[in-house]
Amino acid sequence: MIVGRLLYGADDHVAQFVGGQIGGDVIYSSHRAIGVLSNNRSKLIAGVVYYAFDGSNILVDIAATSPHWCRKDILKSLFDYPFEQLGCRRLTSKISAENTRSLKLCEGLGFCREGLLREGGTDGQDAHVLGLLKSERRF
């Protein structure tokens, strides 16, 4: 289902897009995903995969091929799902230490670096663990 520029109900399609952008052998089990479509709704330009929900925390992977997806109304919807619908207290993301653009994006969204996983990235490189508490939510 398409609502504005958001794509719902295509979890596997969006997860495949996000996994392809992240690289490595990403396998999502028990996941939900929201896609962001281009302005003319002709192609997927960004997506968020939510997975491994444990009742208070959920893991998220975010990927995009264009910076034009990142608008306040879209971000509000993407954060509403885990915080309002699922009742999460926090989001957790793992990002390759070499992926400076994604680290900058997530920190701009309010995520804080919480640790380093040595060789923990999908590419075998070090990865940062970032967290965002509901109380720190900006959108």
pLDDT confidence band for 127 (50 / 70 / 90): very high
Mean pLDDT, to the nearest integer, of 69-90? 96
Name the pTM for this structure: 0.93
Residue range 83-103, pLDDT digits in tens: 999 999 999 999 999 999 999
Structure tokens at 27: 């396998």
Distance CA 67, CA 55 (A): 31
CB-based contacts of 77-82 (< 8 A; 24+ apart in sequence): 77/6, 77/34, 78/34, 78/48, 78/139, 79/137, 79/139, 81/32, 81/34, 81/50, 82/50, 82/58
Residue range 51-56: mean pLDDT, rounded:
96
